[in-house]
Chains A and B, each alone.
Chain A
Amino acid sequence: MLKYILRRVLYTIPIAIGVSLIVFTLIHLAPGDPLSAVMGDVDQKMLAEMRASFGYDKPLPVQYFMWLGNMLTGDMGYSLRSGAPVFPMLVSAARNTMAIGVGAAVLGFLFGVISGFLAGYHHGTWIDKAVSSAAIAGVSMPHYWLAIILVIIFSVNLGWLPSIGAGSASSFWSWEAWRHMVLPIVALAAIPAAIVARSARAAVMEILSMEFVEALRARGLSERHILWHVARNALPVVLAVMGLQFAHLLGGSILVETVFTWPGTGHLLNLAIFDRDMPVLQGTIILLALFFVLTNLVVDILQAWVDPRISRS
């Protein structure tokens, strides 16, 4: 087990380096250098000086290592737009995204697990058909469209919930903040709920067809006990699916955040793209990608811990 964890952790290092290379390359794919896009028509001499101060005049490999070195010490540079340091901007945005992301993950997981278990247990009945159809609809749904529909229903028509922003509350633990979080959370939860429901249904059906379930039934265990055994066996698979979905959720929240102008990483990314604010763009992408890598790592290790067969292969 320890050996497996070590191997898995070591394996993330080349991946992380690869990620940094891709992000760095991406930024330099853009036409022109980052500064000229922001500065517009200014004095050539001043532009050259600024370029030197940002290190943009050095050859690309040198820039890469400078950037990587700064990154590792937590220095993500300064926004080309506002001049503010990138790291604190990212931290506060990530906090906001995390708030709706965790909410959506919990909601999506609960909803998906319950409906998926019901559908798998009552395989072939109308419950199964309803859940399966809803799940297909859920994975095909543009969640930014769902967000708009939610706004139309709950903000425009009923007037129950606000449609934009995060409100003025200073903490997440207030009625004001919660009201602003409800719609983004529901919109974000749709996809994970659908995917978790599908995998829970498949897992339950597979386990129900195994011999040990027959054996339990033969021994006269009540259905409730059998359901408990099925749940215990299906849960690791479903948790692994949810772990990955959580990471996808944070990376994909840009569309929903755009609809609600929710001040998270997606919104920050969106602004950085249209401002051509490269340090912010780089920082946001690398943060989200690294989080994704780490989630994958944790999910893999947890899975190996639950199911030792994985670490032996």
Chain B
Amino acid sequence: MKALDAPAITLEFNTAAGERAELDVPVGPGAQRTYWQNVRSRVARDPYTMVCLAVLLLMGIAAILAPWLGLDDPTAANSARRLLPPGSPGHPLGTDELGRDMLTRLIYGARLSLAMGVLPVLAALLVGGVLGLLAGFVGGRTNMLIMRVTDVFYAFPSILLAVAIAGALGAGIMNAAVAIVIVFVPSITRVTESVTTQVRSMDFVEAARASGASTYAIIRTHILGNVLGPVLVYATVLVSVSILIAAGLSFIGLGASSPAAEWGLMLNTLRESIFLAPFNAVLPGFMIFAASMCFNLISDGLRSAMDVRI
């Protein structure tokens, strides 16, 4: 999976917390826009990113509001109505192998599947970010220790590591989440470390130190200000990977368990029915694909808007 390959980063550095002089061209009389305002306006002009944002927003809102949308019970089986084709009265997307409404389960499935995309990445950002900052800022032996351990984790293909950890811990959605966090921490550590190390030796950091800025202030304004862009772009790719891995773990029985509504698990149970209802069987996979692709495209959009190369 490409997102976990070793990232090589080249970027321009912010000289102060949010401004990037060479990119800022004042548009109106006296209108001095900040770096982030520029990024926002570039993203707003990118149709792919905006469409993807809209799709994900729609999925997210539907997922959150699921209990109040007047849908069926996502877990109530009804053997009289098994595998109805899409377009059946009362079941616009048909029913699954136990007679449960597909639309209902796809919307409820978005809760677990999207959460499994976003939450592990947030957790990994926290852990990997702290480790990377520590390694980059302290340097020396601390850096050695953290980065060499990171290297060892890089010696596993990402899916294999996730399967191995989830498999060793045992089936369950929490264990799957823990597995994904462990898979992502090393790569976030690397990105953060490499940016931190580069920024740390910049003249403006020396200047800040010489003028008496505390370590905390340097980290907060200079390091975090520069790390944020690449890490944000990288994290959106990881969300897309996380959705794929989480659904994959559920697909082989290591994540969510029946009767929970989760896209990977639904794809697995409906797999038995491809002879009777191929269209129904394909739907959960399409949702995984759509969500993952949207995060990927958003990452591409952010990357060009922020002028970051990972």
Contact = CB atoms under 8 A, between A and B. Distances in A.
A and B associate in one complex: yes
Given A152-B282, A244-B5, A15 B168 contact: no
B157 A248 contact: yes
Given A145-B267, A156-B274, A140 B157 contact: no
Given A142-B292, A152-B278, A254-B160, A15 B267 contact: no
Given A19-B152, A251-B156, A142 B163 contact: no
Given A142-B285, A292-B156, A254 B170 contact: no
Interface residues of B, number: 47
Binding site secondary structure of chain B? helix
Contacts of A288: 156-157, 160
A82 to B, nearest CB: 19
A274 B253 contact: yes
B271 A148 contact: yes
A96 interface: no
A19 B156 contact: yes
B240 interface: yes
Binding site secondary structure of chain A? helix
A289 B163 contact: no
Interface in A190-222: 191, 195, 198
A22 B153 contact: yes
A274 B257 CA distance: 14
Interface string A137-173: 1011110110011011000110000000000000000
A258 B274 contact: no
A270 B155 CA distance: 20
A148 B267 contact: yes
A285 B164 contact: yes
A269 interface: yes
B170 A31 contact: yes
Contact of B170 (A30, A191, A269): A30
B124 interface: no
A23 interface: yes
A293 B152 CA distance: 9
A296 B254 CA distance: 28
Contact of B157 (A258, A272, A292): A292
Nearest to B167: A273
A234 interface: no
Contacts of A272: 167
Nearest to A249: B157
Contact of B167 (A140, A195, A250, A269): A269
Nearest to B285: A145
Contact of A149 (B167, B282, B292): B282
Max chain B Cβ within 10 angstroms of own Cβ: one of A21, A139, A288: A139
Contact of B296 (A136, A144, A148): A136
B168 A29 contact: yes
Contacts of B244: 140, 142
Contact of B160 (A27, A252, A296): A252
Given A18-B152, A254-B160, 16 more contacts: A18-B155, A29-B165, A140-B244, A142-B244, A144-B251, A145-B267, A149-B282, A149-B285, A151-B274, A156-B275, A244-B5, A247-B157, A252-B159, A258-B252, A281-B164, A281-B168
5 contacts: A23-B164, A29-B165, A157-B278, A288-B156, A289-B155
Interface of A: 14-16, 18-19, 21-23, 26-27, 29-31, 136-137, 139-142, 144-145, 148-149, 151-152, 156-157, 191, 195, 198, 244, 247-248, 250-252, 254-255, 258-259, 269-270, 272-274, 281, 285, 288-289, 292-293, 296
Interface of B: 1-2, 5, 148-149, 151-153, 155-160, 163-165, 167-170, 240, 244, 247-248, 251-254, 264, 267, 271, 274-275, 278, 281-282, 285-286, 288-289, 292-293, 295-297, 300
